[in-house]
Amino acid sequence: MYTDKVLDHFANPRNVGELTDANGVAEIGNPTCGDITRIYLKIEDNIIKDIKFKTFGCAAAVASGSMLTEMAKGKTIEEALKITDEAVAEMLDGLPPQKMHCSNMAAEAMQAAIENYKEKLGA
């Protein structure tokens, strides 16, 4: 059902945790399945210097959060905003159709965290 990459990111998630000095934070939940992802961003000079995530959910949700953080770290805000749910799933070598909402949640949480950052700046 899951690819080797999904299983690896689920068993060995990257960038798990919280950032106490985050300047962008957001949480997205999926009421249908109960999964929740929270993204923490540390942005400096328009670059995502650090990113962490916490997920309560299935293997696909955890793997999607892990992969998203790997994809976004070091990117500019503009580059990070171009990371789509489809791109996350593609980097995981695919997700079952019934699990695509899991990658949507990770990308949406990061986009919301960037918006939170922008709101704090007054932008």
CA-to-CA distance for 99 and 104, rounded, in angstroms? 9
Report yes or no: 102 and 64 within 8 Å, Cβ to Cβ: yes
Catalytic residue among 7, 16, 33, 81: 33
Quick check: is 33 catalytic?
A: yes
Quick check: is 58 catalytic?
A: no
Query: Can you read off the two tokens belonging to residue 31?
Result: 């009421």
Catalytic residue among 48, 68, 102, 110: 102
Three-class DSSP labels, 21-37: CCCEEEEEECCCCCCEE
Residue type, 48: I
* Catalytic center residues: 33, 102
